């Protein structure tokens, strides 16, 4: 059976700041610059979710794209959209809100929620059109 | 009389905001503004397109020196808006809701006095790749 990859693109708009509570205000500003602004700033984030599997002989699908969208929306987008990532998101509590940490936590939210026969292959999270991270579960 | 030409400069800034009308109750704000009213702010990658219309200067071949326009936008808009909380950090929005419409008007009014009166100015502001506004409307 051939293995194929299917990608779903979702987006959310959120506020955040980069801040390490173990450091002084000055050291945070030195390392994170304007990203440490205590009153937050924000982005239009884009999340590319790629899953891997073989098409079902009955549907021709690896996974029903609508079902995949529903899983992503319920467990990730509704939790993050129009929120403050530092204050409002349980799975980011106590973590620095970099896109690196965020993409890893999103992986943990999705990995075990996919239907049988389909696996999470990669996540790509873009903070701006010019900065993005990728995670392959390693 | 020289030919009239429009020139455009595209810039971007990332900022947090929320929509809230201080004269309304919390419930009314939630009803009208929905998740844009959430108390801990959210954010966007704003894309700003500044359009300047004028006659070509026969000496330079320019409508406006684009380096000068770029410096004006950086010094007067980006330094004020980028990685900021529009509600808390930008004095123009202390009493004014930072909707895309109002942000476009504020940007226009900050830049207008800095340009020669022979030049026309129009602001296009993208809050997301799908929502954008123009001021003045023509």
* Residue B125 placed within a domain: yes
Residue B128: list chain A partners with CB under 8 A. Answer: 11, 13, 44
Distance in Å, alpha carbon of B94 to nearest chain A alpha carbon: 14
* Residue B31 placed within a domain: no
pLDDT score recorded for residue B75: 98
- In chain B, the percentage of residues whose pLDDT exceeds 70 is 99
Q: Is B69 exposed, middle or buried (0-12, 13-18, 19+ CB in 10 A)?
A: buried
pLDDT tens per residue across span B97-135: 999 999 999 999 999 999 999 999 999 999 999 999 999
pLDDT at B138 over 90: no
* Residue B35 placed within a domain: no
Nearest to A15 among B35, B42, B82 (CB): B42
H or E segment to which residue B54 belongs: strand B42-55
Sign, CA dihedral A95-A96-A97-A101, equals negative
Low-confidence ranges of chain A (pLDDT < 50): none
Specify the CATH number of the domain A4-135: 3.30.479.10
pLDDT tens per residue across span A54-68: 999 999 999 999 999
- For chain B, give the number of residues: 138
Q: Is the pTM of this model over 0.80?
A: yes
pLDDT at B42 over 90: yes
pLDDT score recorded for residue B1: 63
Residue A88: list chain B partners with CB under 8 A. Answer: 38, 40
Question: Is B83 part of the annotated catalytic residue set?
Answer: yes
H or E segment to which residue A13 belongs: strand A4-16
Comparing CA positions, the residue from A132, A75, A102, A124 lying closest to residue A15 is A102
Q: Where are the domains of chain A?
A: 4-135
Comparing CA positions, the residue from A135, A50, A51, A131 lying closest to residue A101 is A135
Choose, out of B20, B43, B88, B91, the residue to mutate when testing the contact with A (most A CBs < 10 Å): B43
The CATH number for B123's domain is 3.30.479.10
pLDDT tens per residue across span B46-88: 999 999 999 999 999 999 999 999 999 999 999 999 999 999 9
pLDDT score recorded for residue B2: 73
Asked if A83 lies within 8 A of B42 by C-beta distance, the reply is yes
Q: Count the neighbouring beta carbons within 10 Å of the beta carbon of residue A130.
A: 8
- Counting the structural domains of chain B, the total is 1
Distance in Å, alpha carbon of A33 to nearest chain B alpha carbon: 10
Alpha-carbon radius of gyration of chain B: 17
Asked if A42 lies within 8 A of B42 by C-beta distance, the reply is yes
Domain containing B93 equals: 4-17+43-135
């Amino acid at each position: 059976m051939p293995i194929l990859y299917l990608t779903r693109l979702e987006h959310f708009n959120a506020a955040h700041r980069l801040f390490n509570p173990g450091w002084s205000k000055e050291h945070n500003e030195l390392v994170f610059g304007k990203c440490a602004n205590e009153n937050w700033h924000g982005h239009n984030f884009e999340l590319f979710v790629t899953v891997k599997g073989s098409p079902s002989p009955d549907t021709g699908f690896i996974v029903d794209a609508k079902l995949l969208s529903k899983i992503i929306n319920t467990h990730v987008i509704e939790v993050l959209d129009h929120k403050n990532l530092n204050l409002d998101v349980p799975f980011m509590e106590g973590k620095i809100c970099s896109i690196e940490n965020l993409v890893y936590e999103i992986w943990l939210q999705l990995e075990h929620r996919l239907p049988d026969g389909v696996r999470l292959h990669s996540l790509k999270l873009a903070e701006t059109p010019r900065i993005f991270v990728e995670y392959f579960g390693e | 009389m020289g030919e009239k030409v429009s020139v455009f400069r595209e810039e971007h800034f990332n900022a947090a905001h929320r929509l809230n009308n201080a004269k309304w109750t919390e419930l009314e704000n939630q009803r009208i503004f929905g998740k844009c009213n959430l108390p801990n702010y959210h954010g966007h990658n704003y894309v700003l397109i500044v359009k300047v219309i004028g006659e070509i200067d026969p000496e330079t071949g320019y409508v406006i020196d684009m380096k000068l326009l770029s410096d004006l936008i950086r010094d007067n808009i980006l330094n004020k808006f980028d990685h900021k909380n529009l509600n808390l950090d930008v004095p123009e929005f202390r009493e004014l809701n930072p909707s895309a419409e109002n942000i476009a008007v504020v940007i226009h009014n900050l830049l207008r006095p800095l340009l020669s009166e022979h030049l026309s100015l129009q602001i296009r502001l993208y809050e997301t790749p799908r929502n954008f506004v123009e001021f003045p409307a023509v």
